[in-house]
Structure 1
Amino acid sequence: NLIETQQLSSHSTWFYMLLSIIKKRRFRAISFFVPSCDLGPFFLVQLELKALEVEDHWFCSKVIVTDPEGRQQLFPCYQWLSPKKKTILREATGFHSKCKSIYNSVIVCAVSCRWSVYDSEIPHIVQVDSASGLPYETVSILSMLFPEYIKKHWMTDTFFGYQFLNGLNPMMIKRCSKLPNNFPVTNDMVKSALPKESSLEKEMEKGNIFLCDYARLGGIVGNVIDGIQQYLAAPLCLLFSNPQGKLLPIAIQLKQKPEAQNPIFLPTDSKHDWLLAKLFVRNAEFNENAVNFHLLRTHLLAEVFTMATLRALPSVHPLFKLLFPHIRYTLQINIMGRKLLIDLPSLYIFTTQNCAIGIKGMITLMRRATASLTYSSLCLPDNIKERGLENIPHYYYRDDGLKLWNIIHKFVNGVVAHYYTDRDVQEDSELQTWLTEIVEHGFLKNDNSGIPKSFHTVAELVKFVTMLIFTVSAQHAAVNNGQFDFGAWMPNFPSTMKAPPPTTKGQATAESILAALPNVKHTLIQIIWQLSYPFGYYPEELFVEAVPLQKMEQFRQDLKALEGEIEARNKNLELPYDYLNPKNVANSVDL
C-alpha cells in the first residue's frame, strides 16, 4: 500500500491531515511524520480519505501522535473512512460536559441520526431504510446447532415446566399467592397433582404455586396464511413446584374469560386434550418471546439506547466510551432485520407469512407490551423480587443473571465513580439530555413506567447504565440464543396453530393435533446469529486513563471466574443452562 501524506495546516486546537490512498489491498499499521513545529496542545484530528475508486473505503482503528519529546496522544477511530466525508477524531481522555474548559461539545451524530416513528405507541426507531445508510463502522458476520434432547422430551410435563424457568422465555412466570378471578381452579381439580396432605391453598401459602398469564394476547385475531385462518390463545397456566424441585403444569385455561366453552384442562384429562392445551401455551410463549421480550425489550430498546448515545454524547464523553462497545452493531442488525427478515412495512416477515399473530396482531401486542414496560422489569434484581421468584429451585436464568448483573454493576460503578461525583451528575447537561431522549423515544413519556426523568446521584446513574448493558448483552442472550435449541423441533415451539382452541374436552386425537400444527413451509424460519465481540472484550482503545483500564481488566477476570462456576455446575445437570455463560454472551444485540 502506498500512502502519501501531506500537512495542510496546524493550529493550537485543530490538526488537519489528508491521507491520499493510492491502492487498497489490506490493513496495515501506517506511520508518517510532519515537519517539527510547535503545535501546542491539540485535541482533535481530522482525517480525509482520497481514493481512486468512488466506493473505496479504509478502516482506521486509531491515530497515535508522538511529539518530538516522545509523548503520545491516542485518537480512537475504529470506523471506516469514506471518500464522501471528513472524519473528526477526539483525543482519548474522557471528559463530560461540565469540563467546558477542555472542549466545546460537537455532537456530529445528532445531524445524521434522526428518529422515526413507526407507530406512536411503540418505541421509536432510526430514520434509515437500509444498513448502507449507517456509518461504515457497523458491520459484522453471521453463523448457526441441533438439539436431540428437546425431540425426546417435548411432550413431558417436566420439560414443559422447565422451559418457563430456563427456556427461551424465562420472563413470564410469577409466584401465585391468590388465583385471578378469571381462573376458577378448585382444589378438587388439582389435588391429584399435590402432596396427599396438602391443598392448593396451602401450597400457595408456601410459595409453591406459580402462574403464567398471557392476557396481552387476549382478543387478538389470528393471521390468515395462504388463505387458511390461523389461531392463537390467551391462556392462563398454573404450575406447582413439587418437593423434588420439579416445576409441573397442573391447570391450563386457554381463554381469559371463564365460561362453559372455555374448560380448564388438567393433567388427569386424556393425553391428547392435555397435550393440545400445552401446545397452545407454547404458541403463546412463541408470541410473547418474539414480539415482547426479544423484539421490544432488547432490540427496540437497544436501538433507543444507541440513538440517544449517538445523538447526545460526544465521543470524548466517558459514558460514550463505556457504552459504545455495547451499542455498536445495534442499528445495523435492526435495519437488516427490517429489510431482510422483515417485509416492510411490517416488522418481521415471519409474523406475516408464518405465524398466527399477523402484523395487526403484532402491533396490538407490542402496544400493550410497551404500555406495561417498566424500569423495574428491566432491572433483574427488582424483576425477580416483583415476580416472587427468589426461592424457586433450579432457576438458572435467575442465578446466572444476578451474578452477571452484579459483575456489570461493579464494573460500571468503578468507571463512573472515577469521572463523577453526585454534583457532576447533576450538572452534566449532556448526560441529562441523553436520559431525556431515552424517556421520550423509548418509554414514550409514560409516567407509570418508573423510568427516572433525571439523574441526581452516581448510584442512580450506575444502576441505569447497568440496566442498559445487561439488557443489550445478557438479557438478549437469554431470550435469543436458544431459538434453535428450543424451536428447531417445531412441536415444542409452534409459531402458529391451524385449529382454534378447543371448547370441550374429549375431542382431541393424535390426528387432530397433527392437523393443528403448522405446515412444514411455515416452520422454515431461518435461525442465524451475528458474531459480535464476546462480552467484556473491548478491542477499541477508547480509554487511556489507568483507572478505567484497570476496571476493564478486573471486569474480564470476574466474567472468566463466572464462566468457570457455570461450567462446573453444568457438568452435573441433565440439561446444561449455558445461555448466560459469559463466553456465550455478546457485547451488544446481534440478532
Structure 2
Amino acid sequence: MGVYRVRVSTGSSLCAGSNNPVQLWLVGQHGEAALGTRLWPSRGKETEFKVDVSEYLGPLLFVKMRKRHLLQDDAWFCNWVSVQGPGASGDEFRFPCYRWVKGDGVLSLAEGTGCTLVDDLQGLFKKHREEELEERRKLYRWGNWKDGLILNVAAASISDLPIDERFLEDKKIDFEASLAKGLAELAVKDSLNILACWKELDDFSRIFWCGQSKLAGKVRESWQEDAFFGYQFLNGANPMLLRRSSQLPARLVFPPGMEELQAQLEKELQGGTLFEADFSLLDGIKANVILCSQQHLAAPLVMLKLQPDGQLLPMVIQLQLPCTGSPTPPLFLPTDPPMVWLLAKCWVRSSDFQVHELNSHLLRGHLMAEVIAVATMRCLPSIHPIFKLLIPHLRYTMEINVRARTGLVSDMGVFDQVVSSGGGGHVELLRRAGANLTYRSFCPPEDLADRGLLGVKSSFYAQDALRLWEVIYCYVEGIVSLHYKMDEAVKEDLELQSWCREITEIGLQGAQDQGFPISLQSRDQLCHFVTMCIFTCTGQHSSVHMGQLDWYSWVPNAPCTMRLPPPTTKDATLETVMATLPNFHQASLQMSITWQLGRRQPVMVALGQHEEEYFGGPEPKAVLNKFRKELAALDKEIEIRNAKLDLPYEYLRPSLVENSVAI
C-alpha cells in the first residue's frame, strides 16, 4: 500500500527505443499490482513515474512487463527497472534486464540480489528459474561445426543467433565499415603491384602502409635479428608455446660432426637456461592448394638459450621430424650463411602463425569462450550470482565466432584463400589441438609452472598473466564469499553443478580426462574454475589477440603461407627466400585482415569497466569497486615498467584488455 516510484532505463543504441507501449506489474511476496500502460520507451532515456498501489505487496520479487503492438512489433532494449517503495525511507529494488524485449509476451525480471537454489528456501524464484532455463535451452542449442571439435552454439549464420547475442548497431557498423575499408585497401594494393617484380625483402614495404602500429615499424626494422626472433616466444603474439627444457627432445637427431652443438645444448640444459618451441602439432598436416599452386607446411623445433641479460637466442632449428627410412633432417644454425639461417627462421615464424591463429587464438580463446557462454546460458538463470558475475565477459562472443566460422575458416574463407594450413588442414589441426586441451594450461599459475616460465624476468607475459589472474581471482572470491558461506553450499547448488558438467562433459566433449572438473566441491575449487572462465574470456584472449597488428603486419616476420617446400640443404639464396614467402596478393590480404582484427577497437569495454549492473545491493558493488581499484593499480605498475623498456608489453594491461571475446 502506498505510492511507488518507478524508473525505467532504455539502452542508448540506435534502435533501443520503441514506439510500442509497455505495461508493468509489480510482484511482491504478498501480492501483485498492475500498473497499467505507463511507458513509451525512448532511446537513451530514463522514464520515471509514480503510482499509487492499494494492495500490500511486501518485499518486491519481480517486475513483469509486456510490450503491446497493433501493427508492428518494435523491439525495445531495456537496461533495468528500479522501484522505490512507499514513504521517504522506502527500500529501492533494482531489476536488471539488459536485453531486447520483443513480441507481446510477458517478461519477468527478478530482483537483482543474486540468489542460489540453496538460498531460495521458500522457493520464491523456483518457477521463474525453471521457466527461464527451459526457454533458454530452446534458444541456445549446442552445435557441431566440424566433427571432432569442441562444441559451439547452433547457428549457421548471424540471423540464427538469439537476438541478445548479436552486435548492437554501433559495434556492427564499425565492424562492417572496417571490413569494407580493408577490402578497399586490398584492391588498391593489388592494382598497384600486379605488374611489379618483387625481388628484395624490402619490396614488402610497397604494401606496408595505412593503419600500422608503432611496434609494427620496429618489427620491419629488426625482424631478422636473432634476439628479436627469440623475444617473440616470450612476449610476442603467441607466448603459449615456449617451455624450459627438462631434457633434449627425442626428435633432435644430431648428424655426424655436430658433437660440439650437442655439448653446448647439454651445458645450457644443466644450467636451466635451455628452452624449446616445438611445432610437432603441424607434423603431417596436409598443406593447402591455392589457385592450383601447392603450398607447404613444416613442423619445426627451435632450441633457445636464455642469456643473463634476459635475451632469448636461438641455438638450432630443425624444420621437420626425423622419419624412418629418410635422411636425417638438417639442423640449421646461426653460423650458417645468412640467407640459409633467415629462411629457417621464416619457416619457424610461418609455423608459429599457423599454431597461434588456430590453436592459441581461435581454439583456446574464441571457441573455449563460446563453450563457457553457451553452457552459462543453458544452465544458470539470470538470478544466479555466477551468471551475474560471468555475463559481462560473454558479450558478443557468439556473433564474432559465427562470423569467424562463416568468413575466416569456412570453405573458401580467408584460410582457404591465403593460409598454408587452409583447405582442410586447419580443421585437422584444431582436432589435434582440441584433444590436448588441459585444465592446467588455461590457468596461468599452473601453466607457467609447467612450462618453467615462473621467475623468467624477461617474460612480461608471464609476469602480467600471473598478476592479472590474482586480481581476477580476488574479485571472484569476493563475490563467491557473499553467496557461499561454506563448501557445502557449493556442493548443494545443483544449477552450479549442472553448469560445470555441461562445460566439461558436453561443450568440451568429455574433457575430464584432461583435468577439467565435472563437479565443484569447495569454494576454492569454484573460485579457481570461475577465474579460469573470466581470464580465458579477457586476459588470455587479449594476450594472443592484440599482438596481431604489431607482429603480423610485416609479412616476412609471420608469413601466412610458404610457396616452396622446407629446405633440406644449406644453399638458399635471396631468390629462394622471396620465392618461398607469400606473393604480394597473399601478403596484402594478410595485412588487411590483420589490420581489421588487430586494430584497437573504438567500440570496446575494458576489463571490469562494464556499465551493466547485474547485481543489486551494496556488497557486490563494493567488491566490483575493489576489483576496479586493483586493476587500475596493476595498470599503473605496467605503465611504469613499460616506460623503461625498448619494447613495451601492453597486451595484458587492464585498460587495454577487452572485457569479453568481442573481436
Q: TM-score range by the shorter chain?
A: over 0.9
Q: Which moved more, 1:381-390 or 1:74-83?
A: 74-83
Q: Which moved more, 1:132-141 or 1:464-473?
A: 132-141
Deviation at 1:571, TM superposition (A): 0.8
Q: Is the 8 A contact 2:27 2:33 kept in 1?
A: yes
Q: Which moved more, 1:314-323 or 1:116-125?
A: 116-125
| Residue matched to 2:662 | 590
Deviation at 1:261, TM superposition (A): 5.6
- Is 2:28 aligned against 1:26? no
Q: Is the 8 A contact 1:234 1:255 kept in 2?
A: yes
Aligned length: 582
| Residue matched to 1:60 | 78
Task: Tell me: CA distance 1:149–1:84, structure 2 relative to 1, closer, same or farther (3 Å).
Answer: farther
- Is 2:430 aligned against 1:370? no
| Residue matched to 1:516 | 580
| Residue matched to 2:395 | 328
Match of residue 235, structure 2, among 166, 173, 193? 166
User: Residue 220 of structure 1 aligns to a residue in which SS?
Assistant: coil
| Residue matched to 2:353 | 286
**Separation in 2 of the partners of 1:130 and 1:467?**
29
- Is 2:97 aligned against 1:77? yes
Deviation at 1:186, TM superposition (A): 7.9
**Separation in 2 of the partners of 1:19 and 1:173?**
62
Task: Tell me: CA distance 1:510–1:6, structure 2 relative to 1, closer, same or farther (3 Å).
Answer: closer
Task: Tell me: CA distance 1:36–1:511, structure 2 relative to 1, closer, same or farther (3 Å).
Answer: same
| Residue matched to 1:277 | 344
- Is 2:119 aligned against 1:99? yes
**What does 1:13-412 align with in structure 2 at a 5 Å threshold?**
26-38=43-55, 39-51=57-69, 54=72, 56-69=74-87, 70-83=90-103, 86-100=106-120, 101=122, 102-104=124-126, 105-106=129-130, 107=133, 108-138=135-165, 139-140=167-168, 141=171, 142=175, 145-146=212-213, 147-185=216-254, 189=258, 199-257=264-322, 260=327, 262-343=329-410, 346=411, 349-412=413-476
Q: What CA RMSD, in Å, does the superposition of the two structures yield over aligned residues?
A: 2.4
Task: Tell me: CA distance 1:26–1:218, structure 2 relative to 1, closer, same or farther (3 Å).
Answer: same
Letter in 1 for 2:347: F
**Separation in 2 of the partners of 1:13 and 1:512?**
81
How does the TM-score come out when normalised to structure 2? Answer: 0.83
| Residue matched to 2:491 | 426
**Separation in 2 of the partners of 1:295 and 1:14?**
48
Residue by residue over 1:221-268, the C-alpha shift from the partner in whole angstroms, topping out at 9 and shown as x without a partner, is 210011110001011111111233210111111111165362111111
Q: Which moved more, 1:423-432 or 1:349-358?
A: 349-358
Identical aligned residues as a percent: 40
Q: Which moved more, 1:125-134 or 1:219-228?
A: 125-134
User: Residue 566 of structure 1 aligns to a residue in which SS?
Assistant: helix
How does the TM-score come out when normalised to structure 1? Answer: 0.93
Letter in 2 for 1:316: I
Letter in 2 for 1:332: E
| Residue matched to 1:574 | 646
Q: Which moved more, 1:129-138 or 1:487-496?
A: 129-138
Residue by residue over 1:314-336, the C-alpha shift from the partner in whole angstroms, topping out at 9 and shown as x without a partner, is 10000001001111221121122
Deviation at 1:561, TM superposition (A): 0.5
Q: Is the 8 A contact 1:95 1:317 kept in 2?
A: yes
Letter in 1 for 2:76: W
Residue by residue over 1:253-289, the C-alpha shift from the partner in whole angstroms, topping out at 9 and shown as x without a partner, is 1111165362111111111111111111111101111
Residue by residue over 1:20-78, the C-alpha shift from the partner in whole angstroms, topping out at 9 and shown as x without a partner, is 876x8632111234442223344222223235773622221100112223322110011
Letter in 2 for 1:576: P
Task: Tell me: CA distance 1:18–1:297, structure 2 relative to 1, closer, same or farther (3 Å).
Answer: farther
Task: Tell me: CA distance 1:188–1:52, structure 2 relative to 1, closer, same or farther (3 Å).
Answer: farther
Deviation at 1:166, TM superposition (A): 0.3
Q: Is the 8 A contact 1:175 1:208 kept in 2?
A: yes
Q: Is the 8 A contact 1:535 1:587 kept in 2?
A: yes
Residue by residue over 1:323-368, the C-alpha shift from the partner in whole angstroms, topping out at 9 and shown as x without a partner, is 011112211211222234453xx4x922111100024211111111
Letter in 1 for 2:224: M
Task: Tell me: CA distance 1:549–1:240, structure 2 relative to 1, closer, same or farther (3 Å).
Answer: same
**Separation in 2 of the partners of 1:125 and 1:386?**
29
| Residue matched to 1:471 | 536
User: Residue 514 of structure 2 aligns to a residue in which SS?
Assistant: coil
Structure 2: gaps of 5 or more residues:
1-16, 179-210
Q: Which moved more, 1:477-486 or 1:1-10?
A: 1-10
Deviation at 1:458, TM superposition (A): 0.1
Deviation at 1:187, TM superposition (A): 11
User: Residue 365 of structure 1 aligns to a residue in which SS?
Assistant: helix
Letter in 2 for 1:282: R
User: Residue 169 of structure 1 aligns to a residue in which SS?
Assistant: coil
Task: Tell me: CA distance 1:548–1:186, structure 2 relative to 1, closer, same or farther (3 Å).
Answer: farther
Match of residue 528, structure 1, among 580, 590, 596? 596
**Separation in 2 of the partners of 1:15 and 1:359?**
61
Task: Tell me: CA distance 1:163–1:294, structure 2 relative to 1, closer, same or farther (3 Å).
Answer: same
Q: Is the 8 A contact 2:500 2:518 kept in 1?
A: yes
Task: Tell me: CA distance 1:249–1:233, structure 2 relative to 1, closer, same or farther (3 Å).
Answer: same
**Separation in 2 of the partners of 1:42 and 1:109?**
24
Task: Tell me: CA distance 1:317–1:59, structure 2 relative to 1, closer, same or farther (3 Å).
Answer: same
Deviation at 1:296, TM superposition (A): 0.6
**Separation in 2 of the partners of 1:299 and 1:292?**
10
Residue by residue over 1:190-219, the C-alpha shift from the partner in whole angstroms, topping out at 9 and shown as x without a partner, is 958x9xxx8322210111111111111100
Letter in 2 for 1:267: P
**Separation in 2 of the partners of 1:7 and 1:59?**
15
**Separation in 2 of the partners of 1:444 and 1:7?**
43
**Separation in 1 of the partners of 2:436 and 2:450?**
14
User: Residue 163 of structure 2 aligns to a residue in which SS?
Assistant: coil
Letter in 1 for 2:612: E
**Separation in 2 of the partners of 1:91 and 1:329?**
25
Task: Tell me: CA distance 1:296–1:84, structure 2 relative to 1, closer, same or farther (3 Å).
Answer: farther
User: Residue 31 of structure 1 aligns to a residue in which SS?
Assistant: strand
**Separation in 1 of the partners of 2:31 and 2:407?**
45
User: Residue 511 of structure 1 aligns to a residue in which SS?
Assistant: helix
Q: Which moved more, 1:283-292 or 1:357-366?
A: 357-366
Structure 1: gaps of 5 or more residues:
none
| Residue matched to 1:537 | 609
**Separation in 1 of the partners of 2:444 and 2:523?**
19
Q: Is the 8 A contact 1:15 1:46 kept in 2?
A: no
Residue by residue over 1:448-473, the C-alpha shift from the partner in whole angstroms, topping out at 9 and shown as x without a partner, is 30111211100000001111111110
**Separation in 2 of the partners of 1:18 and 1:493?**
62
Deviation at 1:13, TM superposition (A): 6.1
- Is 2:623 aligned against 1:557? no
User: Residue 63 of structure 2 aligns to a residue in which SS?
Assistant: strand
